[in-house]
Chains A and B, each alone.
Chain A
Amino acid sequence: MSTFFRPAMSLIVLMTLITGVAYPLVVTGVAQVAFPEQANGSLLQDAGGKVRGSLLIAQDFTGDSWFHPRPSAGAFATVSSSASNLGPSNPALAARVNEDAARQYVPEQGPVPLALLTTSGSGLDPHLPPAAVDYQVARVAAARHMPVAALQQMVDQFTLQPMVGPPVVNVLALNSALDLLSTTTP
């Protein structure tokens, strides 16, 4: 058995040192120099340097003057975040969607975009499809006493169009820009 014992023990220790210690340390070292913002969580800081969140992690927004992200099955908890895992045939899914739709429905704007009625896989989806942002523009513009056209233009500026994925708007980035706007132009 000793012909197997020594190589097994030595190699698991050596592989641990190479792949479990050296490799993550090298990646961390390079990443912290090359991409420090991203490596530390894409944190959003205010003028005073206080951390206000991460651009990649959704925040709960309530009230008419903010754009609302997708609903979160885990109530925006981050440790741990979660999904609803409701099966398509589960009556609880239809009940929740219908109830939320009745609350958000604006007859002149047609049916509520599905993204605003469904919880995401992560529970922390930081984005919305543009149509789901557009659906909220009239409400936010009214609450902030802004012209709808100006707000719509801002939304368009915040729309990302990757070649290999659907267009999205980062809700926190957009809300944060709105916040700055209202504090700098009283």
Chain B
Amino acid sequence: MHSYDYAVILAFFALVLLPAPWLGRFYYKVMEGQRTWLTPVLGPVERGCYRLAGVDAREEQSWQKYALALLAFNLAGFVLLFAVLLLQGYLPLNPAQLPGQEWTLAFNTAVSFVTNTNWQAYSGEASVSYLSQMVGLTVQNFVSAATGLAVLVALCRGIARRSAATLGNFWVDMTRATLYGLLPLCLLLALFLVWQGVPQTFAQYAHAVTLQGADQVIPLGPAASQIAIKQLGTNGGGFFGVNSAHPFENPTAWSNLFELASIILIPVALVFTFGHYVKDLRQSRAIVACMLALFLIGGATSLWAEYQPNPSLNNPMVEQTAPLEGKESRFGTTATVLWSVTTTAASNGSVNGMHDSLNPLSGMVALVNMMVGEVIFGGVGAGLYGMLLNVLIAVFLAGLMIGRTPEYLGKKLQAREVQLLVVTLLVMPVGVLVLGAIAASLPGPVAAVSNPGAHGFSQLLYAYTSASANNGSAFGGFGANTPFHNLMLGLGMLIGRFGYILPVLALAGSLAMKKTAPVGQNSFPTHGPLFVTLLTVTILLVGGLTFLPTLALGPIAEHLSMGF
């Protein structure tokens, strides 16, 4: 590793960790409707939205009403996006004259963006018009992230409130998250990206004659505005097919650093937002410590693995160095590995190099990050509510060990809470193992695999893991654009999204109704090193026991067979 490799790692951690406490407090104030420096500008817009939508901002919703509002809003978004994608051929702002998408592809794409997955079974420059990119995909990039944030604050309120019947108002939470939480940061990042070279224009694709006289079409479009929210909203759906590896999406080492940091900037900050809700920032620091530990374990493993030269290219005429297949020169090995770890730790799923060509163990780290439910910082909102589920499971296990009723921040965990926790534990296994096994056992769907041997199995495993975890990255050789995979992966994404959201809201409602017991001498502390260790081990055990056999068949078998 060179000095610039260390520089990018240090700069990345500085960019995401230093602003987090301040930004976390900002999100708390915004979501609770307190005045911030943005209120004079955005306050009138916010109130205008409520007036036009007939929303009373002071009205509180029970968890059932909150969930119904969320489902209604997501359904409306799905229908609109599905229609735009099917009909884009007849709609304006389509200079490349692209036809509407085939219906299973449109279904898959619409589900993908509504669930914050942004799995892409298509290439943007060849099958999505400027209009679809803007009013279709960009919008869902914003509101799907805002939906995740809304669910998180509902859970925070559920834990923080005492004997309460309500969790807040979904319409208000979603609107505030979009306007204050996402838009201002996106404006800044988008302009920074244009400065670095990302196109932002409505002009049609440019035509060039190359220096050697060949014709070349140069795809353009309003890319920077979409890429900013794609990173900050942990969405990950590229404007161009090859995503952030495309020099127009990510032109320089600097654009790479800022896009990379943007993936987990908000998720890290939200851990501190939680601390403000429960009025105990020690809880935030404990959770960040656990997330950071898991991130560093994965990151170090992946870096070590990816710096090993590929033994199958051992030839005196070939330079023996870290593999470069699928990587861009301007990023190199370190920044590509760091991105692969970050994008799967969060539910982002954008890629700046091709995961399919990673060494087996670096590919496995990406898989494991998703399999543990994307709780290592995770998606906007979704990462922390997933992590809080693990916290409750760890508290429950600790309660079993010391023989006391488990309690988290004064709230007793009883049968109903534990039942809901178990439901969420089943989401990833159903999505990955059940749907994946169906796909793997049918000859048609298996034909989507493009690499031989164990790596081929990894491709299929990765696809179903990515969809169920709402990640969206892929082992890109997997030919996912078939009616079978479009529908099955779409189903996986729906299970992975709402299979968490609905139990989480029910849990929030149930916790909100409880009295808070005073924290006594015998309460199990949830902020010390002991709890951080317990939480980390819980996450690894729950994920590990479930998925270890599939990892043995895929990346581990490939690693052993290659003779590293």
8 nearest CB pairs, A to B: A165-B253, A85-B477, A121-B245, A80-B123, A87-B455, A10-B53, A20-B135, A87-B451
Contacts of A8 in B (CB 8 A): 69, 72-73, 75-76
Write the chain B residue with the least CB distance to A69: B329
Contacts of B326 in A (CB 8 A): 83-86, 118-121
Given A27-B194, A105-B317, the answer on whether A40 and B139 have CB atoms closer than 8 Å is no
User: B residues near A, CB below 8 A?
Assistant: 2, 4, 7-8, 11, 45, 49, 52-55, 68-69, 72-73, 75-77, 80, 96, 123-126, 134-136, 138-139, 141-143, 171, 174-175, 178-179, 183, 186-187, 190-191, 194-203, 205-212, 214, 216-220, 222, 224-226, 228-229, 240-242, 245-248, 251-254, 256-257, 310, 312-313, 315-321, 323-332, 335-336, 351-354, 356-360, 450-456, 458-459, 475-477, 558, 561-562
**Measured between alpha carbons, how far is A121 from B49 in the docked complex, in Å?**
42
Contacts of A27 in B (CB 8 A): 187, 190-191, 194, 200, 222, 224-225, 228
Contact present for B139 and A41 (CB under 8 Å): no
**B205 nearest CB across to chain A (Å):** 7
Most buried by B among A19, A66, A110: A19
User: A residues near B, CB below 8 A?
Assistant: 4-12, 14-16, 18-21, 23-24, 26-28, 30-32, 34-35, 38-44, 50-54, 56-63, 66, 70, 76, 78-91, 93-94, 97-98, 101-102, 105, 110-115, 117-129, 132, 162-166, 168, 172, 175-176, 179
Contacts of A51 in B (CB 8 A): 206-209, 218
Contacts of A18 in B (CB 8 A): 45, 178-179, 183
Contacts of B224 in A (CB 8 A): 27, 31, 39
Contacts of B208 in A (CB 8 A): 43-44, 51-54
Write the chain A residue with the least CB distance to B245: A121
Selected from A14, A88, A126, the residue in CB contact (under 8 A) with B52 is: A14
Write the chain A residue with the least CB distance to B196: A38
Contact present for A30 and B191 (CB under 8 Å): yes
**B486 nearest CB across to chain A (Å):** 18
Selected from A39, A86, A102, A105, the residue in CB contact (under 8 A) with B325 is: A86
Contact present for A38 and B199 (CB under 8 Å): yes
Selected from B171, B200, B329, the residue in CB contact (under 8 A) with A120 is: B329
**B337 nearest CB across to chain A (Å):** 13
**B150 nearest CB across to chain A (Å):** 12
Contacts of A66 in B (CB 8 A): 211-212
